[in-house]
């Protein structure tokens, strides 16, 4: 994780709408940043005296909230730097209000040893933009067989363990992983897809897939894996997190697991509550994801589960691909879309539709992900890191992927009107992004 030595200039945000998911605050106020941390929160702070050289930012009509903590980002470095780098992803994250991102281990080489973790940490320090954390593999080479040295990797900075886009398919391996991780309180993150059922599938199984002549991935492939894993969680008492939930059946299984008191949490990504399988249209590869976009009924179920808290977190599921990976026939195209710069504006649709309060949205985007991984971010509190996003919740714009800072442009939201624009992003009190005025 990046460390920043020199304290930046003090900043006073005055009259902004302060959003604190930890304290439930959504009210106008002032916030003072000194030496990279939140020094004071209240009203009339300017009248109480400010440090010399304090920058003053008028926040009237704007929201000031904790920076987003993105649980699921593919950085592509090392190995595929033509698609993305830690630096380009950091710039995209900052532009999207993301102040902390967690890298999946599916790089080349994969992150399954201490050297891989150290590489990410060193590059993040050099980048000096947003904070970068890393998952390590559950299994060596993400191959689903032999467990990694989880204890050593956790000591070396791995925040949790996942095989990335590969499901841990072997039930015995998953049992061993959950049992081993439990001894030091570590989290196992699963890509929930039964590989044999999903093999060869290109999109959601159903009438549209049949009409397009594409092999389908049944929604049951997701629910079956989750239901199996929850039985293993009950057996081991381990901590288990389901990534990018996309179906109503999966949500119901997770809801039941939570009611039984199992240590289960989950996340989803904006495409799964903002789009459905119709976005595939005439073989539109920018709408090819893993898991795939589902039916309208599933989309509505995901949105409702975000609103009622069954889905704990919203992550970008940022998966950059170059033109050669997407400008091919649908069946040959790589799955995945970019999401760092659309995470906040698309998620804000849930607020604008009155499905979710602003406080609850930032609980899903910042506080819950930080708490899940044991990080101090995600809250507006005196002494907390000044990882902040200042945004205009009403500013309307149209998504134009050509203007994105990510190296790759494979967004499923191109041309979509959205409401909510990031104006400034701070990490430890340093401005890492400022919108052009």
Catalytic residues: 317
* Cβ 424 vs Cβ 62: under 8 Å: no
Pure H helices in 195-317: 195-198, 207-212, 220-236, 248-259, 270-274, 296-308
* Cβ 170 vs Cβ 194: under 8 Å: no
Judging by DSSP bridges, how do beta strands 264-268 and 239-242 pair with one another? parallel
End-to-end, the C-alpha distance of the chain in Å comes to: 31
Measuring CA to CA, which residue among 14, 13, 16, 11 is closest to residue 51?
11
């Amino acid at each position: 994780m990046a460390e920043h030595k020199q304290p930046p200039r003090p900043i006073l945000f005055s009259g902004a709408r302060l959003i604190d998911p930890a304290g439930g605050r959504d009210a106008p106020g002032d916030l003072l940043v000194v030496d990279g941390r939140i020094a004071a929160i209240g009203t009339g702070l300017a009248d109480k005296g400010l440090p010399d050289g304090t920058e003053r930012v008028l926040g009237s009509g704007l929201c000031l909230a904790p920076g987003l903590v993105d649980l699921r980002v593919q950085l592509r470095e090392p190995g595929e730097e033509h698609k993305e780098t830690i630096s380009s992803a950091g710039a995209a994250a900052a532009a999207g209000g993301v102040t902390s991102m967690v890298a999946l281990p599916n790089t080349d080489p994969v992150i399954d040893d201490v050297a891989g973790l150290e590489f990410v940490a060193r590059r993040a320090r050099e980048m000096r933009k947003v904070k970068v954390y890393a998952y390590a593999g559950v299994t060596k080479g993400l191959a689903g067989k032999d467990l990694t040295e989880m204890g050593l990797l956790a000591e070396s900075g791995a925040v949790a363990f996942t095989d990335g886009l590969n499901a841990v398919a072997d039930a015995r391996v998953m049992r061993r992983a959950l049992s081993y991780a439990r001894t030091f309180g570590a989290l196992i993150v699963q890509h929930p897809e039964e590989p044999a059922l999903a093999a060869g599938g290109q999109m959601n199984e159903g009438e549209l897939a049949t009409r397009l002549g594409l092999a389908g991935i049944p929604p049951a492939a997701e629910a079956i894996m989750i239901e199996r894993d929850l039985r293993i969680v009950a057996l081991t008492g381990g901590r288990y997190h389901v990534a990018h939930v996309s179906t109503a059946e999966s949500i119901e299984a997770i809801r039941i697991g939570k009611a039984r008191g199992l240590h289960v949490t989950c996340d989803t990504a904006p495409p799964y509550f903002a789009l459905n399988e119709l976005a595939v249209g005439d073989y539109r590869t920018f709408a090819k994801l893993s898991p795939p976009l589902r039916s309208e009924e599933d989309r509505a179920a995901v949105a409702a589960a975000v609103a009622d808290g069954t889905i704990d977190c919203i992550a970008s599921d940022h998966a950059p691909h170059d033109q050669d990976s997407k400008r091919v026939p649908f069946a040959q195209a790589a799955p995945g879309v970019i999401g760092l710069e659309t995470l906040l504006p698309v998620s804000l649709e849930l607020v604008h539709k009155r499905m979710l309060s602003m406080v609850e949205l930032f609980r899903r985007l910042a506080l819950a992900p930080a708490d899940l991984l044991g990080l101090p971010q995600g809250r507006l509190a005196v002494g907390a890191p000044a990882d902040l996003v200042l945004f205009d919740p009403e500013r309307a714009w149209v998504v134009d992927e050509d203007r994105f800072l990510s190296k790759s442009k494979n967004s499923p939201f191109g041309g979509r009107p959205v409401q909510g624009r990031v104006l400034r992003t701070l990490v430890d009190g340093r401005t890492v992004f400022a919108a052009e005025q």
